[in-house]
Chains A and B, each alone.
Chain A
Amino acid sequence: MNIDIRVQQEDFSLGQEYDRIRTDKTQVGAICCFSGLVRDFGDNEGVIGLELEHYPGMTEKALHEIASQACNKWPLDSVLIIHRVGALKLADQIVLTIVSSAHRQAAFAAGEFIMDYLKISAPFWKKELHHKGGHWVEQKDSDVTKLEDWKTPKGP
């Protein structure tokens, strides 16, 4: 099991990370990648960029904990989470998760699980920038209720 957590200002290359994970081992049958981007609307229209704040130290621990939980739930080979902080422009990459496994079901599910938990328990805060100033993004109720799906055992 390989867990790789990075919190950084710099951009990342999905292609490079994917290639590294793909060629690392031969038992991997599925790689699921997710990238989140800065878009031009959020709580309000007319977003021109984002400022991302985090809690250095706790952020890395929280992401590691989420990745470990995913590894306990599914037979994964590796988990990579890269999250950027600082000033970001429209269409910039914010976050990357790559999960590899022998099986696609595990990779898909773990990728979604990681993003759902990241949204609720990793200490990052987004400020949307507009021409007239900034606005701290509010946490969505739907992100909170989504976690209940993971806690409720699925029926047959």
Chain B
Amino acid sequence: MKILFFASLRERLATGEETWDELDGIATVADVLEKLKSRPSPWPEALQGKVMMAVNQEMANADTPVSENDEVAFFPPVTGG
């Protein structure tokens, strides 16, 4: 599974991308988020509050299912235009 971070979240986490080979029972976006939040600082703080999520480049929510070959992204509310 490929996991992407953008904008202020990417800067706070000091990474834009990582890959997970083993999913270990992860079934939804919420599971991915919980696993990321269980890491040491700055992960829990950065992922608190309003975080938008996408699966395979479509807007998703916490309940959206995920599997091995998916691309999951987390980012702050968008501000284009």
Contacts and interface: CB of A to CB of B under 8 A. Distances in A.
Q: Which applies to chain A's interface (DSSP): helix, strand, loop or mixed? A: mixed
B80 A55 contact: no
Contacts of B76: 125, 136, 139
B56 to A, nearest CB: 9
9 contacts: A58-B73, A61-B57, A95-B81, A123-B80, A124-B79, A124-B81, A125-B79, A138-B79, A139-B76
A126 B76 CA distance: 11
Interface string A124-137: 11110000000011
A60 to B, nearest CB: 9
Contacts of B57: 55, 57-58, 61
Contacts of A55: 4, 6, 54, 57, 73, 75
A136 B54 CA distance: 20
Contacts of A127: 7
**Top 8 closest A-B pairs, CB basis?**
A124-B80, A125-B7, A139-B77, A58-B57, A136-B8, A137-B79, A119-B81, A126-B79
Interface string B34-55: 0000000000000000000010
Nearest to A85: B80
Interface residues of A, number: 27
A130 B46 CA distance: 23
B36 to A, nearest CB: 18
B59 A53 contact: no
A137 B75 CA distance: 13
Contact of A53 (B7, B54, B73): B7
Contacts of B81: 36, 83, 94-95, 115, 118-119, 122, 124
A125 B58 contact: no
A61 B6 contact: no
Contacts of A95: 80-81
Given A55-B4, A125-B76, 18 more contacts: A55-B57, A58-B54, A58-B73, A61-B57, A61-B58, A62-B59, A115-B81, A120-B78, A122-B80, A123-B73, A123-B80, A124-B80, A125-B79, A126-B80, A136-B7, A136-B11, A136-B79, A139-B78
